[in-house]
Amino acid sequence: MIDIKLIRENKDLVKENIKKKFQDQKLPLVDEVYELDIKVREVQTKADNLKAEKNKLSSEIGKLMSQGLKDEAEKIKSEVSKSNEEIASLEVEQESLTKQIKEIMMKIPNIIADDVPIGEDDSKNVEEQRFGEAKVPTFEIPYHSDIMATFNGLDKDAAGRVSGNGFYYLMGDIARLHSAVLAYARDFMINKGFTYCIPPYMIRSDAVDGVMSFTEKENMMYKIEGEDLYLIGTSEHSMIAKFKDQILKEEELPITMTSYSPCFRKEVGAHGIEERGVYRIHQFEKQEMIVVCKPEDSEDWYNKMWNYSVELFRTLDIPVRKLVCCSGDLADLKYRSCDIEAWSPRQQSYFEVCSCSNLTDAQARRLGIRYKDSNGNKVFAHTLNNTVIAPPRMLIAFLENNLQEDGTVLIPEVLRPYMGGTEKLIPKK
């Protein structure tokens, strides 16, 4: 959520930002908020003037009573009573107007960075840099679910009978590899100075509204029937919400945390659920990283965070590239974002495995996350998030890039301690 001062002082900037995101249907919201803001401040001023007048009259009552002028005092009491009624009415009106403003403001997108590429959708995202040599082997790379099948590692048929489409059983060496990658990613981030966290997997609606736009909520989140609880789509949700309505100490910043959690997503939209493999599914596990910091530090942290992703994937012998997200591909709360995409030798192209975002103070305003600066001012913090690793999608890149012609899969040296010293996986069939 942006600062309403931007709309008061520079409506055109806010409207231009909406146009850059190709959300012209939201342009009328800016004028609507502008007019409501004028009205709510007029109501506030009227109420303040009435309170001042009431206080003045109230002080007169005691004087008149002490002078024995009871009738005059009663007249003033009547005026004070009328003022109280009018003030109460104005306060109700102010509360209603403030609520309307907040609801509209939560639909207006965050201001994006000046250097974000302008484009309608992810087809206009811009490749910025590649890391590692993207090799194509001389032998054919099978589909990832077929690779897993050679290790008796994937059972989607049973999962379909138990849970429906979009779920899976991972078995044996593939399940162990899945857990090993998560454990390695956890320790990788701890060694970067991040505090390890296992967060709640369900959060209340006010926390959901604080961390994401209404459209994202509708398309992603599973609601627990009969309760004010949602299953998290990523642990960023509950990790950022941990600081809801908190006044942090400046010396505590930056707060850097890495978390493990299962994630649950409806995956409503054009992409849908993949029936054959495990690329797009309803349930997966993930290691995440978040940062809560001072505004002047957020861009430095953004660059550190996506670089951590690159470094981690390169230690697993997986080539990656950085793809800068264009304006139309940015969720409403994002100031800037990039995807780290892994090389797929089978498809001879890259696919997303991490997403790093700087949300400036958009989440902090929704959630009330502030800190006291050296002058005693309460300042909204900046929040950032990035995927560390999200298997089983990450396993696709791992298996394809470490698969050998004889069907074995090499285990990179850094991962072997998490695999009991195993140097390669040998197919069962």
Q: Give the pLDDT of the chain (429 residues) as one tens digit per residue.
A: 899 999 999 999 999 999 999 999 999 999 999 999 999 999 999 888 888 877 776 666 656 666 667 667 667 777 777 778 888 889 999 999 999 999 999 999 999 999 999 999 999 999 999 999 999 999 999 999 999 999 999 999 999 999 998 899 999 999 999 999 999 999 999 999 999 999 999 999 999 999 987 778 888 889 999 999 999 999 999 999 999 999 999 999 999 999 999 999 987 655 666 667 888 889 999 999 999 999 999 999 999 999 999 999 999 999 999 999 999 999 999 999 999 999 999 999 999 999 999 999 999 999 999 999 989 999 999 999 999 999 888 999 999 999 999 999 999 999 999 999 999 999 997
The pLDDT value recorded for residue 51 is 83
pLDDT of residue 393: 87
Q: In whole angstroms, give the CA distance from residue 198 to residue 73.
A: 64
| Fold of the domain spanning 4-105 | Helix Hairpins (1.10.287)
Please state, in angstroms and rounded to a whole number, the distance separating the CA atoms of residues 18 and 115: 15
318-319-325-329 Cα dihedral, nearest 10 degrees: -50
pTM, rounded to two decimals: 0.89
Task: Give dist(CA 215, CA 262) in Å, integer.
Answer: 22
The DSSP string of 64-112 is HHHTT-HHHHHHHHHHHHHHHHHHHHHHHHHHHHHHHHHHHHTTSPPPP
Q: What's the confidence (pLDDT) of residue 22?
A: 97
Going across the sheet that includes 370-372, the strands are 247-249, 370-372, 378-380
Distance CA 112, CA 117 (A): 10
Task: Quote the pLDDT of residue 56.
Answer: 72
Domain boundaries, the chain: 4-105, 122-425
Dist. CA 147–CA 140, nearest whole Å: 11
CATH architecture of 122-425: 2-Layer Sandwich (3.30)
